[in-house]
Amino acid sequence: MPNSAARSTPSAAAALRPIRFLHRGAVVEVDGLAPSTTVLAWLREHAHCTGTKEGCNEGDCGACTVVVAERAAAAPGGAGATVVGELQLRPVNACLRLLPTLDGKALLTVEDLRAIAGGALHPVQQALVECHGSQCGFCTPGIAMTMAATYEQHCEAASRPTRQQLADALAGNLCRCTGYRPILDAGQRMFELPPARLDTASIAAALRALAQDPPLAYAAVDPAFGGLRRFDAPRTLATLAALRLERPEARLLAGATDIALWSNKGLRDLGDLIDLGEVGELERIESRDGELEIGAGASLEDAWAALARRVPELAEVWLRFAGPPVRHAGTMGGNVANGSPIGDSAPVLIALGAQIVLQRGSRERSMPLEDFYVDYMKNRLERGEFVRALRVPLPAAGAAVRCWKITKRYDCDISAVCAAFVLERDGEVVRSVRLAYGGMAAIVKRAKAAEAALLGKPFSEANVRAAMAALAGDFTPLSDMRASAGYRMKVAQRLLLRLWHETRADAPLAGSRTSVWSVLPRPLTAA
């Protein structure tokens, strides 16, 4: 390693070493590749494992889906992942996963499936063959890996997924030619074939040995930009805080579902990186005093699962937040810190009255999440500060909670408008109301004028329509490729009317009555 690597090492960082992870039954050591190298690039260009395909290279198509395994005890969040024996399995997009984040973990790809089955076709593969679940086959390796994770999950639980559960699991995998009916058939057929289970014990033993390595501190020259680039993965909150103070110019990495695109699509220099993914304290999700505290490093899947368990009305937006491979890799803290006006976490959290917890060194401060955003992609983070957690008050019993995501396609799409509402009433009078919208302004924000039109008044259709009109004073939306300004405003207004229809005192409509699926049935719900 060049001498400049040693000179760049801050006192809070560990000594430099190679990246080490388990792949195809052996420990792999990687040194000399730029820290921004993706798992997909390493698999195809360096490991010559070309079963994993490159499709969109931005996390939309799922052709590059792989499974990352880590010790379940080392992943305190874990609620949304598959736990098999001592391992936690997560399907993720290889195109969005930076190679250093595999350190201490196991990488499973489509090449592993026959080995799991002792040289024969894995039940997933055999089922896809029997049910004609593949035509061109380009998407099939990613689909097979998603199905393999589902197979392990349900075999471990001695359960069988419904077709809808299979469809939800495959929401991040695009198939353009076969169609999903035979793929879902294969998802049911695979459980009828002779079983072939992952040998979790040997993988867990190898990962326990890798856990003895010191925290990853890695450096290599990035040939695209020249100069040394560092990657540090501290394992404690205290070390992270110290490292962040010493290297405030370094970029924080929390899943890379957005940052990876800056490199592999935008061809931007990511600079030095500090990964939050190994800090166990940031992955915790805890209930206390009527609120849910979500660590900034908790995955989107775990965070949304925890929210939906406590607020069932959020289940649909959870399942429609990107696809499972993105939710397993990205974090809610990262989604909030990113500050995109079309991010779907912020409207829900703001409507629930969430506080964001920030840390700089040993100092901690908090503020309402709605006050965190200043302008488009600008926030109140100070130099050397990072997001530590989100504290989310749980709604009172009887509160009406709704969140609706409006997109061009149902699954795995970016919102044109995302609206989240929390309404409490004393009898017919609105006691408190919080209306938060994404996609309507440069930041996610509350509709204060519309709230004022409802607060302290009867929750009547006339007052709701007054609030709908008041939205014009809250927002001046823009037109873009996802929706026109006029469409956005009309949708925002009609969602308020939908809230009234579903929660009015006189004969409220069931959610099924206000959904398109009431007139366009979803056959996938059949078992």
* Model pLDDT, residue 513: 83
Mean pLDDT by 10 residues, the chain (527 residues): 37 81 97 97 98 95 97 62 90 98 98 97 98 96 98 96 96 93 98 97 97 97 94 97 97 94 92 97 94 97 96 95 95 96 96 98 98 96 98 96 95 94 97 98 97 98 98 96 96 98 93 74 49
Element (H, E) at 295: strand 291-295
Q: Which residue has the tokens 């979790």?
A: 200
Q: At what angle do helices 140-157 and 180-189 cross, to 10 degrees?
A: 40
* Beta bridge partners of residue 458, listed in sequence order: 429
The dihedral formed by the CA atoms of 161, 167, 173 and 177, expressed in degrees to the nearest 10: 120
* Model pLDDT, residue 144: 98
Q: How many CB atoms lie within 10 A of CB 404?
A: 21
* Model pLDDT, residue 5: 37
* Model pLDDT, residue 516: 73
* Model pLDDT, residue 515: 79
* Model pLDDT, residue 512: 79
Q: Could you tell me which residues come within 8 angstroms of residue 71 by beta carbon, excluding any fewer than 6 positions away?
A: 86, 87, 88, 204, 207, 208, 211
Q: How many CB atoms lie within 10 A of CB 310?
A: 12
Q: Which domains does the chain have, with CATH numbers?
A: 280-393 (3.30.465.10), 419-434+445-518 (3.30.390.50)
* Model pLDDT, residue 497: 97
* Model pLDDT, residue 304: 97
